[in-house]
Amino acid sequence: MPQCSFRALIVAVPFVFGLSVSHAQETRDAAEFLQSYRWRLNEPSFGGFSAIELDETGNRFVTLSDRATVWSGRINRDAAGAISSVFTEDMAVLRDGRGKPLNKAIGDSEGLAVAEDGGLYISFEGRARVSSYATPESPERMLPRVMGFKSLPKNGSLEALAIGPDGALYTLPEDAIAGRSDSPVWRFSGARWSQPFGIPRDGAWKPVGADFGPDGRFYLLERDLRGLAGFATRVRVFDISGDRISAGEVVLETPPGRHGDLEGIAVWRDAAGAIRLTMIADDNFSTFLSTEIVEYRLPH
């Protein structure tokens, strides 16, 4: 099937900051800010990134745009582990079950999870669903849709997607559901969806990304748009055991305007043994926003 593939060294300006006292005071936790890297590429379809996955080394990436494109490549790091450049190897346009490129009405791709065999799972807004792709160029194979998906708001549905240590998929909606004080979490264990638990909603925070870390815990990325002050970012972590989920704890919370619209999260362990949170910002294809890769390190 046709694929847009290319090799290009991205011209990008890394913004690397040391953790200052003021920054530590403005965050609600002991997470250490490592870097904000501005990723640029002169390509019309570049942007709108809503999800990211890294390999266990933090050097290979797959990222997803909300305009139904998948990008993959390599992150180059210096001796200290800071991002020095990003090298994009491939870009593929997602296709429907007949092999045709997804149109705007059904191509609002938001969540991404990579299986052990390299296959992709992608969650969508608009027509709320989760689909599998053997490769980014393969035809879409839609997983069963439950009734709960059909009632979700078109622009606030299945934003976050993660694959657990046992291979089960977990997804939850961005927007609140009328009559509920929590976000229902759906789990797909290979044959059907279940809805074992929910995650309590907190104010205006909205779930936008998720990942299971190498510690087996569930990390949930949330955002809150504070008007002209900009986006605030929060990460909560939960323990899941069977059909039960813990109360969760906040491991990162930033003030509005510190970063852009962070929507995707990858959790991995660096060479020093610390958990790293790598997040990517959606620039909404706007000249006023940027594609930003942000990294924090949790204490260990």
24: left (phi over 0), alpha (psi -120 to 50) or beta: alpha
pLDDT in tens, 127-142: 999 999 999 999 999 9
- Whether 52 shows a pLDDT value over 70: the answer reads yes
pLDDT in tens, 207-220: 999 999 999 999 99
- Whether 162 shows a pLDDT value over 90: the answer reads yes
Average pLDDT for 269-282: 97
CA dist., res. 181 & res. 108, Å (int)? 26
pLDDT confidence bin for 153, thresholds 50/70/90: confident
Average pLDDT for 268-295: 95
- Whether 147 shows a pLDDT value over 60: the answer reads yes
The mean pLDDT value of the chain amounts to 90
- Whether 198 shows a pLDDT value over 70: the answer reads yes
User: What is the length of the chain?
Assistant: 300
pLDDT in tens, 243-260: 999 999 999 999 999 999
pLDDT confidence bin for 231, thresholds 50/70/90: very high
What is the structure's pLDDT at 155? 85
What is the structure's pLDDT at 239? 98
Scan for tokens 């909606």, then name that residue: 173
pLDDT confidence bin for 190, thresholds 50/70/90: confident
- How many helices (H) and strands (E) are present in the chain, helices listed first? 2, 24
Which range of residues forms the domain containing residue 274? 5-297
- Whether 112 shows a pLDDT value over 50: the answer reads yes
- Max CA separation in the chain (angstroms): 55
What is the structure's pLDDT at 9? 28
Please state the domain count of the chain: 1
The first and second tokens of residue 189, run together, are: 């264990």
What pTM was estimated for this model as a whole?
0.90
Strand 5-9, strand 83-93: pairing: antiparallel
- Whether 15 shows a pLDDT value over 90: the answer reads no
> Phi and psi (nearest 5°) for 217?
-95, 160
Reference 221, options 177, 183, 193; nearest CA is 183
CATH number of the domain residue 164 falls in: 2.120.10
Q: Return the C-alpha torsion angle 253, 259, 263, 264, nearest 10.
A: -90
Buried b (16+ CB within 10 A) or exposed e, 234-257: bbbbbebeeeebeebebbbbbbbe
Question: Are the CB atoms for 148 and 185 separated by under 8 Å?
Answer: no
- Which of these ranges, 11-20, 54-63, 96-105, has the smallest mean pLDDT? 11-20
- Whether 13 shows a pLDDT value over 50: the answer reads no
pLDDT in tens, 58-74: 999 999 999 999 999 99
CA dist., res. 224 & res. 10, Å (int)? 30
More confident residue, 24 or 245: 245
pLDDT in tens, 29-40: 579 999 999 999
End-to-end CA distance of the chain: 46
